[in-house]
Structures are given as structure tokens and as C-alpha cells.
Amino acid sequence: QVLTLDARNHGGSPHSPLMTYEAMSLDVQHLLTHLGITKCILLGHSMGGKTAMTLALQRPDLVERLISVDISPVSTAPVSEFSAYISAMKSVKIPDGLSRSAARQLADDQLRPVVQLPQLRQFLLTNLVEVEGRYTWRVNLEAISHHLADIMNFPVFHKPYPGPTLFLGGSKSPYISSKDYPEIKRLFPKANVQYIEGAGHIVHQDKFEEFITAVLNFLTAP
């Protein structure tokens, strides 16, 4: 059984002014309790990976195995880059009455000067939704921009997570670097680090088959 969760301020989940890893970890814990799940395998990408790591470090009893996709338990890239993406998203203007494809094309054109990578623009554009004839972003851009420093950082932990862990990075992405290995090993002593050749940050989108294979191999390993 696979459950896919929208983080707070993302997708169909409620919006909240609070956006810390501790809060997002509690969201997942509450869901597990609500569904009567006492142990799970957690997989998270980027911010979701940091949320999954936070939960595993806080409540290792709930996590059988952990997969962090293209993110390390350290401070991430400069805030300025993501701040620019959020500003670009906020400044997108789409007139009412356009078809979905025309609206997406117009938003894509407006984002292009700031968000040069086509794959990243496609990823951001999945958040463009139509509400009562108007196009809007379903992510809570205000809360995310307010908590950008929290999202880029990682909480401090002293006790490691003892379970099997896979750090699955893209070979073309900087987010799991060799300089992160000591901290990965400190917090996740049973960690295995793998890279998918030719994948960028959005590993599962760039190299889907290879991504699935790597995950399944990890899940079936003794």
C-alpha cells in the first residue's frame, strides 16, 4: 500500500502560516496515528526528504526504512535562488477565461527569464490551478517565502536513526555532495548513497525507470 501525502501549504493540504520541519513531521505522525499505521517506509524528495529524515530521527520506532531523494540532512543551496523563484511565481499574471493549456503556456513564458531549467518550470507549473475561472498557485507562497530559511536548513539532532536508509541523488544535482557524507553517516549510520546517472534534482521525473529500480532494490535488500 502506497500513500502519497501533500505537505502543508502544498497540493490539496490545508494552508498554515507555520512551515517548519518539526510541524511537517507532526503532520505525518498525526496521519499515521489516524490511519492506525504503527510502522512505515518513508520516501521523501527535497523538502519532503528533510521532513522524512526529521520524522525518522524523532520517532525511529515508526520508520522501518527511509529513502531521501536528492537531499542531505544539512543546509541547502542559497536561499536567494528559491526566493527568486517564489517572486517570479508571485508576479505571474494570467487573464481570466483562458484555456488551461494557454494559461500554462503564458505562465511558462513569464517564469522563463528567472527559472531557466525547463524541467523545473514544469515542476512549478504543476501548482497552477483554476479556481472559479481564475488561475492561481495552490501552494501557499506567502508561508513558504516567510519560512524559506527554515526550509533550507535542517534541525539539529544528536541521536541517529538506526534503520536502513537510502540517499538517492541525481548525478547532475548538487544536493547530495561528498562533503555531506560525514553528517549523513553521523545521523544515518546504515546509510547507502547512490546516484542516478543523468538525473537532475527531480530524479523521479528525469529518470523514472532507474528511480523505481533503485527504490525497489533498496526495499527488497535484506
pLDDT, one tens digit per residue, over 153-176 is: 999 999 999 999 999 999 999 999
Question: pLDDT tens-digit profile of 120-138?
Answer: 899 999 999 999 889 999 9
Residue 77 has pLDDT above 80, yes or no: no
30 by Cβ neighbours in 10 Å (0-12 / 13-18 / 19+) ranks as exposed
Q: What is the largest CA-CA distance in the chain?
A: 55
- Split at pLDDT 50, 70, 90, the class of 116 is very high
- The β-bridge relationship of strands 134-137 and 128-131 is antiparallel
Cβ–Cβ < 8 Å for 118, 37: no
Question: What's the confidence (pLDDT) of residue 94?
Answer: 97
Closest CA to 83 of 154, 149, 11: 149
Instruction: Report helix, strand or coil for 197.
Output: coil
- Exactly one of 142, 146, 171, 210 is catalytic; which is it? 142
To the query of whether residue 183 is one of the catalytic residues in this protein, the response is: no
- Exactly one of 10, 25, 45, 46 is catalytic; which is it? 46
Question: What's the confidence (pLDDT) of residue 82?
Answer: 86
- Exactly one of 10, 45, 147, 201 is catalytic; which is it? 201
d(CA 118, CA 186): 36
To the query of whether residue 130 is one of the catalytic residues in this protein, the response is: no
Phi-psi group of 198: left, alpha or beta (phi > 0 → left; psi -120 to 50 → alpha; rest → beta): left
Question: What's the confidence (pLDDT) of residue 222?
Answer: 84
Q: Which domains does the chain have, with CATH numbers?
A: 21-76+153-220 (3.40.50.1820), 79-147 (no CATH)
- Split at pLDDT 50, 70, 90, the class of 78 is low
Q: What is the mean pLDDT of residues 205-213?
A: 97
C-alpha 161 chain-centroid distance: 20
To the query of whether residue 201 is one of the catalytic residues in this protein, the response is: yes
- Split at pLDDT 50, 70, 90, the class of 118 is very high
127 by Cβ neighbours in 10 Å (0-12 / 13-18 / 19+) ranks as middle
Q: What is the mean pLDDT of residues 85-90?
A: 96
CA angle 57, 193, 169 (to 5 degrees): 95
d(CA 5, CA 155): 21
What phi and psi, each to the nearest 5 degrees, are found at residue 90? -65, -30
